[in-house]
Chain A
Amino acid sequence: MATLEIKDLHVSVTADETSKEILKGVDLTIKSGETHAIMGPNGSGKSTLSYAIAGHPKYQITSGSVTLDGEDVLEMSVDERARAGLFLAMQYPVEVPGVSMSNFLRTAATAVRGEAPNLRHWVKEVKGAMADLDIDPAFAERSVNEGFSGGEKKRHEILQLGLLKPKIAILDETDSGLDVDALRVVSEGVNRYKESGEAGVMLITHYTRILKYIEPDFVHVFANGRIVESGGRELADQLEEQGYVKYTGNQEAATVA
């Protein structure tokens, strides 16, 4: 049983020597077994929230706290956060030329699990996980994300999610850029991870369509750097009907036109 607790989180980014506040007091608690959908229009700060929790150096925490099972996440380095059980599936996964996917996965699993996985079991585990996500085995020998299509990158993010089995997973617009088949495959991957019952999920998305595949327990509307409304599934349905106009004053649909 794990709990990620975010309290009154304020985050700024500095560009051209001027600091701009993006997150303006975020409060959110995610427990194992819960799936929280964070829905908001573009530019509302959803991605900033995910990167700030993961510890990206570009974002400065100006006040507030983030704890995982009572431990201060903000005091941890990026890799310590991951080893503590946090995982961020990125919207734009980074290419790492010359580092093979298989080497990367094994190095990451060794770091997160605290010991090198047994080679024979590991090969089987990776093969199985790749097959589950319809990933061609040839990808294991390719450089991390290099030359992958958008959909291939997302599948590999979910592959890592399944292998690293974090306590809390943050999925940052994992649905963006996916066609229907890829969305289904990726969503099934997330659901397999959830089936363990030990997993807490923060699902960040602009659109409601991924919620047809991944059932949220809670839906939060994110606007202007904070959560402005929380509810259940019905809130997503309402967004589907009405868009974000109520929260932003702008017409911005929550469905793909």
Chain B
Amino acid sequence: MAVTTQDQQHGLTAHSHGAGVPVSSRADHFASFDVAAFEVPGGREEIWRFTPMKRLANLHNGALATAVAAVDVSAPEGVRVETVAKGDDRLGVAGTPGDRIAAQAWTSFTDATVVTLPKDTKVGPTTVTITGPGVGEVAYGHLQVRAEQFAEGVVVLDHRGSGAYADNVEFVVGDGAHLTVVAIQDWADDAVHVSSHHTKLGQDATLRHTVISLGGDLVRITPVVTYAGRGGDAELLGLYFADAGQHLEHRPFIDHAQPNCRSNVVYKGALQGDDAHTVWIGDVLIRAAAEGTETFELNRNLVLTDGARADSVPNLEIETGEIEGAGHASATGRFDDEQLFYLQARGIPEEQARRLVVRGFFHEILLKISVPEVRERLEAAIEAELEAVGA
């Protein structure tokens, strides 16, 4: 078990550091729409060093699409759903692929789905169900969610099924819009999913982005948030539960380049079973122009059994002293036996006490999922995970 613990509050002087000091500034991170512009990664590169490359189904090494992933959208009235060709000039505006697999997905997808929440309107939940291409198959995809000016709504991305799937998901959040996203990775055991989420957040816009990763052999999600104007507010939440053999990796990056914006990142994970592996790399960059920024990022991991490994690396780079506040915290620990003793001392059997504690651990994330059906489904899924190991 790897244990990384940091609790720090950053003050007013510009500096940069992390559990592993970045090789270079996050600002210098290479990005391109052209897959050929990226070298095939070998696994020693900073952004790949935690990922088991052999299990990527060659997504990083030019794997051709052999099938498609079905995309079904269930949307309330008023929400526009389109299938568009690659040439649609709205695509790609929220961000540029930052690694070879994202660039490969951009190069390889044929049709993109565009979901638009109309301006000045509050709409009910939209669910986008993405079903993997099937065992042994490879597919690439592209999805764009647009929340127009002052739009308000929830979009659930529900990933299911088998196979290898790489995609880019764009969130284009207009000025003053409120977009809530819940991305659920509930894949079958064989699935490989590598996904980059690109958010462009307009002036005074709000994004609440929740990633839930439960199923799949290898899941690697890279949510990137950029701000297009002042007053943007991004909350990135994550909940993951890794069982034996699973690799679940989350790499949120908040790029503060506009003044007076906020970000708050909270990811919580539980691990159980041999070779359950989770990775959390949380990057926050506050550029010189981003005065008045307020940001905090936190990652907590709960290791339930021996043989599991959690890597957690928060990186905070600050290029201006004129900020409201910035901090990060990361802690990975075993089950707290004192909590267990306390609950048991009140007559609660051990197994039930463990479940109470784990449920409590995830509570603050689940509480913020505003769609009741989704929250209930996730609570049930977590119960099932706990039952599987008898924790």
Q: B360 contacts A78, CB within 8 Å?
A: no
Question: Is residue A168 within 8 Å, beta carbon to beta carbon, of the partner chain?
Answer: no
Task: Pick the contact of B343: A83, A87, A104, A143 (CB < 8 A).
Answer: A104
Q: Which residues of B are at the interface with A, using a C-beta cutoff of 8 A?
A: 336-339, 341-350, 352-353, 356-357, 359-364
- Cα(A160)–Cα(B357), bound, Å: 19
Determine the chain A residues whose CB is within 8 A of the CB of B348 once the complex forms: 79, 82, 107-108, 111
Distance in angstroms between the alpha carbons of A99 and B352 in the assembled complex: 12
- Closest-CB distance, A92 to chain B (whole angstroms): 9
* Residue contact A79 to B342, C-beta cutoff 8 Å: no
Give complex CA distance A111, B356 in Å: 14
Nearest chain A CB to B306 CB, angstrom units? 17
Q: How far is the CA of A103 from the CA of B363 in the complex (A)?
A: 13
Beta-carbon contact of B345 and A78 below 8 Å:
yes
* Residues of chain A lying within 8 A (CB to CB) of residue B350: 77-79
5 A-B pairs besides A90-B345, A94-B338, A98-B362 with CB distance below 8 A are A78-B345, A94-B339, A107-B348, A112-B347, A164-B347
A96 close to B346 (CB less than 8 A): no
User: Are A111 and B346 in contact (CB-based, < 8 A)?
Assistant: yes
Which 9 A-B residue pairs are closest in the complex by CB-CB distance? A98-B360, A98-B363, A82-B347, A111-B347, A78-B344, A108-B346, A94-B342, A112-B347, A99-B360
Contact B360 A97 (CB under 8 A): yes
Interface size on A (CB < 8 Å)?
A: 30
Chain B residues with CB under 8 Å of A107's CB are 348, 352, 356
B347 contacts A98, CB within 8 Å? no
In the complex, A88 Cα to B345 Cα: how many Å? 7
Q: Does A57 sit at the interface, judged by CB under 8 A?
A: yes
Contact with B along A189-231 (1 / 0, CB 8 A): 0000000000000000000000000000000000000000000
- When the two chains form the complex, which single residue of A94, A112, A160 contacts B341, counting CB atoms closer than 8 Å? A94
Q: A94-B338, A104-B356, A143-B360 are in contact. Are A112 and B343 (CB under 8 A)?
A: no
Chain A residues, Cβ within 8 Å of B357 = 96, 99
A186 proximal to B (CB < 8 A): no
When C-beta atoms are compared, the residue in chain A nearest to B357 turns out to be A96
User: Cβ of B339 and Cβ of A79 under 8 Å apart?
Assistant: no
How far apart are B343's CB and chain A's nearest CB, in angstroms?
7
What's the Cα separation between A112 and B341 when bound, in Å? 15
CB-based nearest A residue for B361: A98
Q: Is the CB of A79 within 8 A of B356?
A: no
A79 touches B344 (CB 8 A): yes
Most-contacted residue by chain B among A57, A79, A99, A164 (CB, 10 A): A79
